[in-house]
């Protein structure tokens, strides 16, 4: 499981609703889809993903290759949707103050550290639980549950 993500940061502002995120941030930057590369990291201000919890907006980010979303705050239901789809979603206070678009960012889910590799500045966030890491490792909640069910079934069959 990849617990450390390194990628180019794309910084966005506050209160970006799920409608603007739909289509790979098309409502904020219509050319973003053409500029983003696999492994890039979105950095945002407060209330990222407010509005609808429909999966099409976070799925567009995942399918575009976004490695992680690091924001000052993320709408609770949107945060769960991101993780359920296998995307690392991190709430990290003060991240907007230390990262600009184009800078390189490293995010360590296990230690709870976001570090700007360009400037050396860093911020802490609550480390991910083993359970959340397992969901991400499997690529989302449904693959995680399927794997757990297979393991449980195999264990019962052997018993």
pLDDT in tens, 16-48: 999 999 999 999 999 999 999 999 999 999 999
Q: Which two tokens stand for residue 88?
A: 């690392």
Q: What pLDDT is stored for residue 115 in this prediction?
A: 99
Q: What is the CATH number of the domain that holds 58?
A: 3.20.19.10
Q: Contact 107/5 with Cβ under 8 angstroms?
A: yes
The residue range of the domain holding 79 is: 4-158
Segment 103-128, tens digit of pLDDT: 999 999 999 999 999 999 999 999 99
Residue with tokens 């983003």: 36
The mean of the pLDDT values for the chain is: 94
Q: DSSP of 101-153, one letter per residue?
A: TT-EEEEETTTTEEEETTT--EEE-PPPPHHHHHHHHTTSHHHHHHHHHHHHH
Mean of the pLDDT values across residues 48-72? Answer: 93
Q: The pTM is what?
A: 0.92
Q: Which of 114, 140, 141, 87 is nearest to 4 (CA)?
A: 114
The pLDDT of residue 1 is above 70: no
Long-range contacts of 109-113 (CB under 8 A, 24+ apart): 109/3, 109/4, 109/5, 109/133, 109/136, 110/3, 110/4
- Mean of pLDDT values over 55-59: 92
How many domains are there within the chain?
1
Checking DSSP bridges between strand 68-71 and strand 4-11, what pairing results, if any? unpaired
Q: Which residue has the tokens 């709870």?
A: 112
């Amino acid at each position: 499981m990849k617990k450390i993500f390194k990628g180019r940061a794309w910084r966005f502002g506050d209160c970006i609703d799920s409608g603007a995120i739909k289509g790979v941030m098309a409502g904020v930057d219509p050319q973003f889809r053409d500029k983003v590369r696999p492994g890039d990291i979105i950095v945002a201000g407060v209330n990222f993903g407010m509005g609808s919890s429909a999966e099409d907006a976070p799925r567009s980010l995942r399918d575009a290759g976004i490695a992680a979303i690091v924001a000052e705050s993320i709408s609770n239901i949107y945060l769960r949707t991101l993780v359920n789809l296998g995307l690392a979603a991190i709430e990290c206070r003060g991240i907007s103050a230390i990262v600009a678009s184009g800078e390189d960012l490293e995010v360590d889910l296990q230690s709870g550290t976001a570090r700007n590799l360009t400037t050396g500045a860093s911020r802490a966030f609550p480390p991910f639980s083993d359970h959340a890491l397992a969901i991400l490792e499997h690529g989302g909640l449904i693959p995680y549950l399927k794997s757990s069910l297979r393991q449980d079934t195999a264990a019962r069959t052997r018993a």
